[in-house]
Chains A and B, each alone.
Chain A
Amino acid sequence: MNGTSHRAPGEARSTTPQPTWVPKQWTKFQRVFSEVAAELTDGRETARSRRRRIQENLAEFQSQLEAEIPWVGVSEHVPKSVASGIRKAIGVLRQQQRRLLDALGETAEAFESAEENEDRFVVLVFGEVNAGKSALANHIAGLDFQAAASAPRGESFVGDRTVNRLDELPIECTRQYQGFRLPGLLWIDCPGILSGTFANAQLARRLVARADFLVFVSSSDAPFKSSEMVELSRIIDESGQDKVDACLVVTKADYFDIDEDPETGREIRRVVAKERRDWKAQADWCREQLATAGLGRHLRIREPLAVSIYVARDALGRRWDSGSFFRAPDENWEATYRTSGLPALLKLLSDLATEEGPKLKAAWPKKRAAALRRLFDETATKSSDELTRLSDELDSLRAELSEAQGGAAGDAAELASGEVAPCLTKNGVHLVDGFNAARAQKQLAEALRKSVLEAVTEATRNILEKVRNRFDAALALYVQETNFSLDVKERFKTHTYQTTKVSEAVGGAAGGLAGGAGGAWGGAAIGTAIFPSVGTLIGGILGGLLGGIGGGAAGRAIGRRVYTGTVKVRMSAGTNADEVIADAQRQIKASARKLVKKLFEELDAAVFGQLLTEIKQLRRQVAQWSEAAVTPAPRRSGASRKEAEGRRTKARPKR
């Protein structure tokens, strides 16, 4: 007997004495939880000391970022404005890292929640909108079989409001944190997954880190669809646990049957549990879906359970949708109740509490640490990946520039040496007394400058343009990428990303670009404008240095001071004119090469050297972020750091 006629509301209600049919499985269920809860070990102290450690570690990292930016190995001749520009670029990197650390700190804090202070098991239920989560909660809270007045009864809540029971309307999706409390048990309906709001996803993330047991719920009408599996794997992945204490429950495993009363013509609706055959197919499907998603071994309980709240209520003489009493159950009600599948679920939970209660309960600080670690890991990986990409880009730009150096040096040498013979001839090298060596030397120095300028300009023109663009883009991308995917702080509050901050952070790189392109060659721009845009600076430095050699406006003074000294052609009077010319040519070639080399070295040290050193250091720090979530104290000694890094690389495949 699993059905009965469905009567109109209000009928046979008020006059009936309070029913006392309570399934024994439920009686046991609530007893087990209240007993086990009394002997639970409190994990709060552990959790708190863990949090203190995390915060100490994060503070340590922050202070590392406050340290002064080192400025070593750069010639004093690099203009001050360039130095401060590079510092600013480094500042952008650090600022970004700082923001990430801030976000991690706030996340760690946000994970501390009200649920922490519960001396109960926390069961968290996930499922799509209208999957039947509320009905399941109401039933397990014992609201469908109010027994004697002394018997316990779940206290339902929606947000911070206490309610009689949770709303089960098929149009009202669970948008709020809701559930019930029973002695020893806190049951939370997680705001509907796939409900599309980011805040909900974040709340879910936090709750998972606190829950003792998860229940994934899906409607039998289309159980565990691929879209749900995606969500499910995300939840499991974000928990950071290898084996999650969870089970799958398929709800609404029932169908309706409508008949008409042959005499009255009234409609008779019966609710029936799904046939075994149908259920078997569904269970197979669930297992298959788990396997496809690669989740099977990550779930503690792999066998899906099928339940039907309507069948259960029907057995108890309750109305399907509201759970209110309308008739006395028939003699066989316990057998019918068993077909609802709920006794199996109640037994599963009771057994879990009996056998593993204290162990499960003590595990929550560890679970939270795992979730945080997973989050820190994600952030660190992202940041590290982006830093790596930035430094790879720098390396490749550096390589391109240094390739250009060879060509430029050769060209400069040839150009300069070609000037020697005409110049010396003009100055009377062939005349016994008329050779004006001093004037020749001055003219040759000028020729050398011009040659170097021309050769370097020619060799680097295209490359510099490219370097400028690529470098700026790389830096902007770093900021943007880390912002978009890692602004955990923002993500926790809302799902709208703060894209405006990106442009602020880069400090109008685009403007810098435009300004820099014009100024680079004259070398004047660097004297006045300061861009946090490093690409522009590269152009600027080169422009400044070249300006020094070639006599450009702002760089002239610097250039004179640095390079005049190297442009000396020693000439001894009275020797063979051809020998003098050859000697001068040799000297001028060597000078040209030296000059070009020096130029490139300065450029390299000022830009690439500083930045790459900084990036390397940042990456080293990032590698320790995820350790911060679990290690007892900040790691300082070389040995333990190495150990930590070793573990890290082992855990994740190398890039």
Chain B
Amino acid sequence: MRRVVALGIVNAGKSSLLSALADEENLFPSGDVPRVTREIQQETRGGLLLVDTPGLDAPDEDVELAFQSAISAHTVLWCHSLRMGELRPTELSALRRYKTTNGLWRTCFVLTHGDNVASFEIVRVVSKRIAEQLGEVFGMSFVGVGEKIPPPPPGQRNPRPFNVVGTIDYWRSRTGSGPDSERRLNRSGVPRLREFLLSLRPEGGL
């Protein structure tokens, strides 16, 4: 069983993403007010053990809990909502703390709400800025969405590119049918991410 833990600040889209990965709407309840997930919740669906955590701007002990749960993960999905623009100070400080757990190698950065912003231009601009911010935190070069990936420095691997997902698209496509739905499903980014997670060796690592 591959243990997948979602991390991120409140309303970063952790619960919606996990529900979509499980293909079960509202499996992890999410909502419009920033308080929904207060404790660790985990469900097993389709070969993945999905773990939802409290937001990283929650009280300190909750953050500790979230990090604890990430330590034993095969993959960490670090979520950030594109609607919120660049990474915030709270996220940056959480990332710096996260860096000390040496978890980068099993971390997958997911930009959520890709289908809920004004234009693709925003996805491009915001992800580029986030790549810079992550680069500052981790001392590696990240690339934004649609950017060319430079060859990695000798002896190193490039960090994985960002996954952009949109759960509105995903659920829409699940209710419809035909080529439109197919396209929508692909655009949601969820199947690709799910496939990727399932392709991981159960002992972990990217």
Q: What's the Cα separation between A284 and B33 when bound, in Å?
A: 9
Q: With A170-B125, A256-B116 as given contacts, are A227 and B33 in contact (CB-CB < 8 Å)?
A: no
A170-B88 in contact (CB<8A): no
> Chain A residue with minimal CB distance to B122?
A170
A222-B89 in contact (CB<8A): no
A221-B119 in contact (CB<8A): no
> Chain B residue with minimal CB distance to A219?
B84
A130-B85 in contact (CB<8A): yes
Q: Return the CB mask of A530-574 against B: 1 if under 8 Å, else 0.
A: 000000000000000000000000000000000000000000000
A223 within 8 A of B: yes
A226-B57 in contact (CB<8A): yes
Stretch from A21-29, A257-265, A580-588, A612-620 contacting the other chain: A257-265
A271-B118 in contact (CB<8A): yes
A269 within 8 A of B: yes
Q: What's the Cα separation between A269 and B85 when bound, in Å?
A: 19
Q: Residues of A contacting B9 with CB < 8 Å?
A: 222
Measured between C-beta atoms, what is the minimum distance from B21 to chain A in Å? 20
A194's partner among B32, B89, B168 (CB-CB below 8 A) is: B89
A223-B34 in contact (CB<8A): yes
Q: What's the Cα separation between A446 and B35 when bound, in Å?
A: 82
Q: Residues of B contacting A227 with CB < 8 Å?
A: 57, 90
Q: Residues of B contacting A258 with CB < 8 Å?
A: 115, 166, 168-169, 184, 187
B34-A225 in contact (CB<8A): yes
Q: Residues of A contacting B10 with CB < 8 Å?
A: 222, 225
B34-A170 in contact (CB<8A): no
In the assembled complex, 13 residue pairs joining A and B whose CB atoms fall closer than 8 Å, in A order, are A130-B88, A169-B125, A171-B125, A222-B9, A222-B84, A225-B10, A227-B57, A257-B168, A258-B184, A269-B118, A282-B32, A285-B33, A321-B118
Q: Residues of B contacting A471 with CB < 8 Å?
A: none
Q: What's the Cα separation between A195 and B115 when bound, in Å?
A: 27
A130-B84 in contact (CB<8A): yes
Interface of chain A residues 260 through 299 with chain B (CB within 8 A): 260, 262, 269, 271, 274, 278, 281-282, 284-285
Interface of chain B residues 59 through 106 with chain A (CB within 8 A): 81, 83-86, 88-90
Measured between C-beta atoms, what is the minimum distance from B88 to chain A in Å? 6
Q: Residues of A contacting B180 with CB < 8 Å?
A: 260, 262
B89-A225 in contact (CB<8A): no
Q: Residues of B contacting A510 with CB < 8 Å?
A: none
Q: What's the Cα separation between A258 and B185 when bound, in Å?
A: 12
Q: What's the Cα separation between A321 and B120 when bound, in Å?
A: 12
Q: Residues of A contacting B128 with CB < 8 Å?
A: 171
A484 within 8 A of B: no
A170-B126 in contact (CB<8A): yes
B149 within 8 A of A: no
A221-B126 in contact (CB<8A): no
Further pairs besides A223-B33, A226-B57: 6, Cβ < 8 Å:
A129-B89, A171-B85, A171-B126, A194-B90, A258-B184, A282-B32
B45 within 8 A of A: no
Q: What are the 9 tightest A-B residue pairs by CB atom distance, in nearest-first order?
A: A170-B85, A130-B85, A222-B11, A171-B129, A285-B33, A222-B34, A171-B86, A320-B118, A221-B83
Q: What's the Cα separation between A285 and B35 when bound, in Å?
A: 9
Q: Residues of B contacting A257 with CB < 8 Å?
A: 168
A6's partner among B83, B84, B119, B168 (CB-CB below 8 A) is: B119
A252 within 8 A of B: yes
A173 within 8 A of B: yes
A61 within 8 A of B: no
Q: Return the CB mask of A182-194 against B: 1 if under 8 Å, else 0.
A: 0000000000001
A119 within 8 A of B: no
Measured between C-beta atoms, what is the minimum distance from B38 to chain A in Å? 12
Measured between C-beta atoms, what is the minimum distance from A195 to chain B in Å? 7
Q: What's the Cα separation between A278 and B33 when bound, in Å?
A: 9
B117 within 8 A of A: yes
Measured between C-beta atoms, what is the minimum distance from B56 to chain A in Å? 11
A255 within 8 A of B: yes
Q: Residues of B contacting A129 with CB < 8 Å?
A: 85-86, 88-89
Measured between C-beta atoms, what is the minimum distance from A508 to chain B in Å? 37
B183 within 8 A of A: yes
B86, B88, B121, B187: which has the most chain A beta carbons within 10 Å? Answer: B88
